[in-house]
Amino acid sequence: MSVESQFTSAIFTFESVLAVFKTGILSLSVAYFFFSLIVVRQVNMMTETVITEAGPILRALSILHAGVALGATVLFIGFLFG
């Protein structure tokens, strides 16, 4: 067995591929949570600028969205690394 094949087989083991997959899923989940925080900020700025009857409802929905994104991130941490 050549050195190249030993090196390649050592890199692409099931555990290493699984670790990369877990890290990728968690990274995307954290990025989505940060995106939801940006949405909350934008909705708050919008509701301060444009005053409508739907402002409080939109603000509540954006906060709920951020909470669901945080919950999904915590859930992924529990499932992937628990």
Q: What pTM does this model have?
A: 0.80
What's the pLDDT tens digit per position in 6-48? Answer: 666 667 788 888 999 999 999 999 999 999 999 999 999 999 9
Question: 68 or 3: which carries more pLDDT confidence?
Answer: 68
Residue 50 DSSP code: S
pLDDT at 72: 96
pLDDT at 4 over 70: no
Residue 57 DSSP code: H
pLDDT at 1 over 70: no
Q: Which residue has the tokens 């877990």?
A: 22
